[in-house]
Amino acid sequence: MAAEVNGKSNQSISHTKHKHVKLGLFGFGCVGQGLYHVLEETPGIKAEIKKICVKNKSKARPLRADLMTFNKEDVLLDKDIDVVVELIDDANAAFEIVKAALKNGKAVVTANKKMLAEHLEEIYQLQIQYGKPVLYEGSVCGAIPIIRNLEEYYDNDLLTGIEGIFNGSTNYILTKVFDENKSYADALAKAQELGFAESDPSLDVKGFDPKFKLVIAIAHTFGVFVKPEDVINIGIDRISDLDLKFARENKYGIKLVARAFKKDGRVFGFVAPQFIEQTHPLFAVRNEYNAVQVESAFAEKQLFIGKGAGSYPTGSAVLSDVSALTYDYQYEYKKLNQPHDLKFSNSLSVDAFVSFEQGTNISIGDFEQFQNGYAANGKQYMVGRVKLEKLQAWSLLDGVGIILAPNATLVPEKEITKEIDALV
């Protein structure tokens, strides 16, 4: 049918000239190989891999030898290469590659969330300085096109919040805990066995990985740069059998939720586990799937669900960035350039379930509003409203588990300066 249409008119709509781009890759691990295969099987994309720079000389790779190099200058100084695709693990080395690529007049595609979260403001400045774009759709929730939608589609709507499941490994573990009635430790071991969790899972289970993604999302949602160390992350690694028993009895799930929202001139954001009711939209997001909910004044709540990791989903996100570079796309950081005076803040109280061993230095007086508590077999449970920074401190104590209440109320504290102003 399309053939008929094309037959009738020799013209087609095409307002942008698509150029052919030549890629230089750094790294050929899971995502790099995914990109390579996605690119091979995709007709019509005007991009080809010219060089792949890898580190380990002894590893066998299913690739033409002339594509490979061990010298990064073979990519960075090759005038023929338009786009550097950075897909290595090491965040510091990745940042050096990004800087060198921009300096050498190349556009960059990366999926390195740690590097981006740590250097986003510098990367924004470097893009201005060198006039070349850095795209990173694959860094936040894999195949879910969240950055592009925040930039392009929600550019004018008044965004009030963003939240979701930003980490596939922990969601896989938390799904298995309930589906197969496992303990946290057994579910983690199973996830590691199946490759859904790293052998060192701490970046995931302690909530650092979703925090890096949240930092990137906050810049594109609210136009605010925040350092990852200023954002609180509470992990799922302290979830106890008592917590799981409580969840099962109440037919709750537990999800590791990353969230940020805007209130009274401030942006709040953190990562923490939360009890989730069955009617909550995140309840149905299972296994390695990720989800992002965008809340705005007019479009209301929009939920995006998709695979958050893996060779093909992330490779496909990286390819989508490469494709966007064929028509000179770049992020405009629209929210950043809209006039605003937003500041990131942790002055927030939240409703949480806190479990701890008898003798831990936690008492009713620590709660802004104490709701209830009970003790059994040397363990204690307290429920109530607590300052976020206190929760963070507790989360570092031995044997303390923290899970937000289902539909937890999040209460920004009043700014002291404002109160003083009012008194004067």
Q: Which of residues 280-339 bind its own copies (CB under 8 A)?
A: 281, 283-284, 286, 296-307, 312-313, 315-317, 319-320, 323-324, 328, 330-333, 335-338
Q: Which helix (H) or strand (E) holds 209?
A: helix 208-222
**Which residues are bridge partners to 161 per DSSP?**
261, 295
Q: In what order do the strands lie in the sheet with 134-135?
A: 68-69, 47-53, 21-26, 83-86, 107-110, 134-135
266-276/343-345 β-pairing = parallel
Residues 153-172 interacting with its own copies (rule: CB under 8 A): 153-158
- Give the span between the Cα atoms of 177 and 276, in whole angstroms: 14
Options 116, 217, 226, 382; binder of its own copies; rule CB under 8 A: 226
CA-CA distances (angstroms) from residue 223 to 54, 150, 232, 282, 311? 35, 11, 19, 25, 30
Q: What angle do CA 43, 94, 44 make, to 5 degrees?
A: 5
- Give the span between the Cα atoms of 89 and 112, in whole angstroms: 7
11 binds its own copies (CB under 8 A): yes
342 binds its own copies (CB under 8 A): yes
Residue 213 appears among annotated catalytic residues: yes
Residue 17 per-residue DSSP state? P
43 binds its own copies (CB under 8 A): yes
Please state the closest distance from residue 174 (CB atom) to its own copies, in A.
16
Nearer to its own copies, 117 or 144 (CB): 144
49 binds its own copies (CB under 8 A): no
Stretch that binds its own copies, among 70-78, 124-132, 372-380, 399-407 (CB under 8 A): 124-132
Nearer to its own copies, 45 or 63 (CB): 45
Please state the closest distance from residue 73 (CB atom) to its own copies, in A.
28
Options 22, 30, 45, 69; binder of its own copies; rule CB under 8 A: 45
241 binds its own copies (CB under 8 A): no
- Judge whether 98 and 114 are in contact, CB under 8 Å: no
343 binds its own copies (CB under 8 A): yes
Please state the closest distance from residue 296 (CB atom) to its own copies, in A.
7
- Give the span between the Cα atoms of 148 and 145, in whole angstroms: 6
124 binds its own copies (CB under 8 A): yes
Positions annotated as catalytic residues are 213
